[in-house]
Structure 1
């Protein structure tokens, strides 16, 4: 489909959803005890943004073109600002992994729990008009995407911040 589909022309539910989710998620980061260094915090937040950008710019542009983001097919300034919403979720995913000591076999249900959280947030985002599915795309198709992203994030975090990497040689 060429052209620009306009879904909405007002500042309303989809923008407020992005603002609300972002503010609430960052507020909890600010309120709860700090457990990460500034490098770890930046790493986890940037992973959230980077994964959001890469996946959205893979799935919502041709040849796939499976959904639109925001008020219209064309990108608007607010659409780019919405990627900030992904930052705290990268942080929270690793925060609770460390805080709850989710090691060994507990990793599997932990990742599945976060996939469920991501699917729930995406479902709400669809309902308020942040995402507009096209070409038969359905929420369940996001399951393997989130499963891959969260598993990759955890592997990257564990590799980058493995204890032995930061020890000085004797």
Structure 2
């Protein structure tokens, strides 16, 4: 139920925000969140590492695939705020650090409500380099591939 709530609330936020990103940037940002969530969960939560379980069982169920949709709004909002407030230069560093801190807070909350169940000694602090990497890569790709087109043509 919590996962569905996050998907609905995140989707509403994405729909309500003014459209300042191109369609390509929007799709990239939404899919980047889903793809990286899926990739890291299946790498870290599956054997041989098996560091945590997603949702209520150790095996993946059909509903677990829907849980990856909750990552989509985070990827979009990350790029949206970057673009909306024109974060450049040294300000990018605290921006990424702040989003990583937010990601850890959301992860801790997700543990408390039963979305994640850590095991085999895994801790939220181990996720910090993952969030730093994911957000840095997303921002790098956006700036190199999508932002030049947003600048040239404006949001569609």
Counterpart Cα distance in 2 of 1:165 and 1:141: 35
Counterpart Cα distance in 2 of 1:113 and 1:17: 24
Bigger proportion of residues as helix:
2
Displacement over 3 Å in runs of 4+: 164-167
Instruction: Tell me the equivalent position of 2:47.
Output: 62
Instruction: Tell me the equivalent position of 2:12.
Output: 27
Instruction: Tell me the equivalent position of 1:13.
Output: none
Instruction: Tell me the equivalent position of 1:84.
Output: 69
Q: Does residue 163 in structure 1 map to residue 148 in structure 2? A: yes
Matches within 5 A, 1:21-170: 21-163=6-148
Q: Secondary structure at the match of 1:160?
A: helix
Structure 2: 5+ residue runs without aligned partners?
A: none
With structure 1 as the length reference, what TM-score do the two structures score? 0.85
With structure 2 as the length reference, what TM-score do the two structures score? 0.93
Following superposition, the deviation at residue 164 of structure 1 comes to 7.1
Confirm or deny: 8 A CA contact 2:21 2:150 kept in the other structure: no
Look at both structures and tell me which one has the larger radius of gyration over its CA atoms: 1
Tell me the number of residue pairs that the alignment of Structure 1 and Structure 2 aligns. 153
Confirm or deny: 8 A CA contact 2:55 2:116 kept in the other structure: yes
Counterpart Cα distance in 1 of 2:98 and 2:150: 29
Q: Secondary structure at the match of 2:117?
A: strand
Tell me the alpha carbon deviations over residues 90-132 of structure 1, each in whole angstroms, 9 at most, x when there is no partner.
1000000001111000000000111011111111110011101
Tell me the alpha carbon deviations over residues 8-36 of structure 1, each in whole angstroms, 9 at most, x when there is no partner.
xxxxxxxx221111111111111121111
Structure 1: 5+ residue runs without aligned partners?
A: 1-15
Following superposition, the deviation at residue 166 of structure 1 comes to 8.1
